[in-house]
Amino acid sequence: MTIDLTKKPTVILGGGPAGLLFTQYLRAAVGFEGQILVSDPQPAKRALAARFGATPIDPSATDLTAAVVELTGGRRADCVIDAAGSGSIFREMPRLLRKQGTVLLYGHGHTGVDLGVLNNLQFLEPSLLSPVGASGGFEADGRPATYRRALELLESGRIAVGPFITHRYHSLDEVPAAFGGAHLAPDYVKGVVELT
């Protein structure tokens, strides 16, 4: 299925690594010229979203629906990308999406949410996409095409991950501390272990 969203507003819910990768991919890899609105409560993540060509929204300081309606001139989003993994966004999606828009369900792990909230989304007759793992087929050598394309984008510099690596750990002994709460720091975007 090919979806032409070249000029239509897109909302990305979540400005973590996945949301920032979606933002860069839309701008740098497919040449998306439309509005990209990225919602995230963390200032560091919103700053990175702006750096990569999106308009950031702080959902903890403003009503997300009102902001999207205002920024799109009342149009709402033609595409909503779930990159947050937060169940509460399912309640918000129907208010953000245009009728017959597209929803990309990427941020998995929505625990504690009654799936009845999808009823309001279904009334909009959306196209629902859910990529997982090696979606996108395989190369002749058996390698997933999606991963090969991702590595090419990284190697060419069209997609940059360095800017959102905010925490570096230099031994495996530091890993328990990293999982012990460092990821909750306001400036945390992504942590990596660097073994030399």
Residues 6+ apart with CB under 8 A from 124: 94, 97, 98, 99, 100, 101
pLDDT for the residue numbered 3: 47
Nearest C-alpha neighbor of 19 from the set 74, 85, 92:
85
Residue 123 within a domain: yes
CATH number of the domain residue 66 falls in: 3.40.50.720
Give φ, ψ of 181 to 5 degrees. Answer: 140, -10
pLDDT tens, per residue, the chain with 196 residues: 454 545 689 999 999 999 999 999 999 988 899 999 999 999 999 999 999 999 999 999 999 999 999 999 999 999 999 999 888 888 889 999 999 999 998 887 667 777 787 888 888 999 888 776 556 778 888 888 888 888 899 999 999 999 989 988 888 888 887 777 777 788 889 988 888 7
Q: Which stretch of DSSP H or E encloses residue 39?
A: strand 36-39
Residues 14 and 61 in one domain: yes
pLDDT for the residue numbered 66: 97
Q: How buried is 173 (Cβ within 10 angstroms: 0-12 exposed, 13-18 middle, 19+ buried)?
A: exposed
Residue 50 within a domain: yes
pLDDT for the residue numbered 1: 43
Residues 169 and 87 in one domain: no
**SS3 of residue 168 by DSSP:** strand
Please state the domain count of the chain. Answer: 2
Residues 170 and 119 in one domain: no
Domain that holds residue 196: 165-196
Residues 27 and 121 in one domain: yes
